[in-house]
Chain A
Amino acid sequence: MRAERPSLIDPWPVRIVVGALIVGFVGLFLALPLYTLFAQAFAKGVDAYLRAIDEPAAWAAIKLTLTVAAIAVPLNVVFGLAASWCIAKFEFRGKQLLTTLIDLPFSVSPVISGLIFVLLFGLQGWLGPWLRSHDVQIIFALPGIVLATVFVTFPFVARELIPIMEAQGTQEEEAARLLGASGWQTFRRVTLPNVKWGLLYGVLLCNARAMGEFGAVSVVSGHVRGRTNTMPLHVEILYNEYNLTAAFAVASLLALLALATLAAKAALEWRGRTEIAS
């Protein structure tokens, strides 16, 4: 065996070096920071940890972060599905442009993303005075934070779905149409089931980013404690107030949310595999 396919099996020294590199890298850049985070959070005991979290401003930040994610993620699911469906299954003019635009939030710095909304909706911006006269508050309030988050998390679902849909081609949809299914039926019964694992995966990524976003949200938040501070912003404030235990406690909550997301992802992949196998 070994003689027939030598290129597939690396010599032992290479394996050991590469393995050590990977373990070292993961340990240094992922495991160690995570350990430090929880160690700092519990440095003054479980009581101090709970007290740090059970505080009105912390609760408000948690509530706001969950609210923002609960609005931004469904919006981007709808958009991502629509966009990837169009791009993967149809030919039209401007397709290349649409694909590029979807990627835009990846290439623009989050701070700029936030500033765009200040320039648009701020009182000195284009729409600001009109909004103020109609008593609508966009930036420095929930809508602005949601907008910034939606913008930043825009590509996650679409980017996840486009390659899957493209790989699957259009034959199944064509068959469905020939058998008399309507457009909506085709989408619901054929396209959607085919991409559901990819979709869920995109949702998880989108959600993780929505809850963790700092830069863009920081620009449009106004930093009103207990009202417009999301969890990442609240962590920064606590840190700046020399309140290390509380800062790390809230940060550990964020990390837990991320870990839960990862666990959900692993579970999904496992289910996906068993479903395909059966």
Chain B
Amino acid sequence: MRRPILWLAAISLVLAGSAQAQTRLLNVSYDPTRELYVEINKAFADKWKKDTGEQLLIEQSHGGSGKQARSVIDGLEADVVTLALAYDIDAIAKVGFVKEDWAKRLPLNASPYTSTIVFLVKKGNPKAIKDWADLIKPGVEVITPNPKTSGGARWNYLAAWAWAKDTNGGDEAKARDYVTQVFKHVPVLDTGARGATVTFTERGVGDVLLAWENEAFLALKEFGNDKFEIVVPSKSILAEPPVAVVDSVVDKKKTRKQAEAYLTFLYSPEGQEIAAKNFYRPRDKVVADKYAATFPKVDLVTIDKAFDGWTKAQATHFADGGVFDQIYKPGAK
């Protein structure tokens, strides 16, 4: 009986030993950014090594944006959070782990790249889905993740709402009717954007996936242009996925310097180039021009103009008992 205990001690020593050999940064991010941050992490670690001589190990964790924020609030020690929408970082700020002014500490609302919501359909677009109105045609099944847990899903929902409101001359009740109709066409709600993409692409459920533009492009890249195609609706929403240093963690771990440099790197030409290559719309003018052909021009509404900002949108639509809870009744016809 004594041997196994010795072994355990040895194993934990090895684990603890390897843990302290280098500085670690943990980036807690939302679902579709896996491939983006694999590349960013490598590029930044190389640059940091060259500039300072210090070896950085950058770790990543992915999931639905709301769920990831919840984990950080519950104690997941993220040095930086790179989430799908500002409200989720606000939620972390509310418990005091991130300073309230986080959105002003970095340029452009602390969003180093943007994206939007597009449709992914099967090749040849068999159900002829051209715009938001086509989503509620009889027999169309719409795939979108759960707005309660997924940031992308909240952008999907708000983009649909914004289109319906504008189309009906600003009538909120008509917009609500339309969004209610859309969710009657949703057979399943995954918790994160990637789960929804897998449901649509690999399990073959549904006729149209409401997706992040970057997620849709990635699906084309993975499965080939002969399986799926992207449909750009007449109007969509400007999604600004924000980033922030988690103050309580970096102060404790003494990693503020590295964490801040990491986020600043996202704005550098090199970081912007990597973002564009992974189908996130770059902010940098030069890089944006270079990749202009990739990203179609869309009429984009902003969350601030159409919904008076995230705090209001969240409280009205996604809080407990909010509009989404009122209109989404699973199984109801």
Contact = CB atoms under 8 A, between A and B. Distances in A.
A239 B201 CA distance: 12
Contacts of B62: 223, 237
Interface string B49-64: 0000000000111110
B92 to A, nearest CB: 11
Interface in B298-320: none
A122 B4 contact: no
Contacts of A121: 75
B71 A140 contact: yes
B61 A222 contact: yes
B61 A225 contact: yes
Contact of A222 (B71, B195, B198, B222): B71
A47 interface: no
Interface centre among B35, B71, B198, B202 (most CB of A within 10 A): B71
B47 to A, nearest CB: 21
Interface stretch (B7-15, B142-150, B287-295): B7-15
B101 interface: no
Nearest to A243: B222
Interface in B1-51: 4, 7-8, 11-12, 15, 26, 34-35
A125 interface: yes
A61 to B, nearest CB: 13
Given A123-B73, A128-B75, A137-B75, A70 B198 contact: no
Contacts of B63: 223
Interface centre among A137, A239, A241 (most CB of B within 10 A): A241
Contacts of B7: 70
B74 interface: yes
Contacts of B4: 70, 74
Interface in A108-124: 118, 121-124
Contacts of A273: none
Contacts of B195: 240
A227 interface: yes
Q: How large is the interface on B (under 10, 10 to 19, 20 to 34, 35 or more residues)?
A: 20 to 34
Contact of B75 (A70, A71, A132, A227): A132
A211 to B, nearest CB: 15
Interface in A86-145: 118, 121-125, 128, 132, 137, 139-140, 142
B194 interface: yes
Contact of B74 (A67, A139, A239): A139
Nearest to B57: A226
Nearest to A73: B4
Contact of A123 (B8, B26, B35, B74): B74
A242 interface: yes
A199 B34 CA distance: 44
A242 B26 contact: no
A139 B15 CA distance: 17
Given A71-B8, A241-B34, A242-B222, A122 B74 contact: yes
Contact of A118 (B26, B60, B61, B74): B74
A70 B8 contact: yes
B60 to A, nearest CB: 6
Interface centre among A71, A241, A242 (most CB of B within 10 A): A242
Contacts of A70: 4, 7-8, 11
A140 B198 contact: no
A59 B77 CA distance: 22
A140 B15 contact: no
A224 interface: yes
B198 A226 contact: no
B95 interface: yes
In the A-B complex, the 9 residue pairs with the smallest Cβ-Cβ separation, listed nearest first, are: A122-B74, A123-B75, A140-B76, A222-B76, A242-B222, A223-B61, A224-B61, A240-B194, A224-B59
12 contacts: A70-B8, A122-B75, A123-B73, A123-B74, A124-B95, A128-B75, A223-B63, A225-B59, A237-B62, A241-B34, A241-B35, A241-B194
Interface of A: 63, 67, 70-71, 74, 118, 121-125, 128, 132, 137, 139-140, 142, 222-227, 237, 239-242
Given A74-B4, A123-B74, 5 more contacts: A124-B74, A140-B71, A227-B59, A239-B198, A240-B34
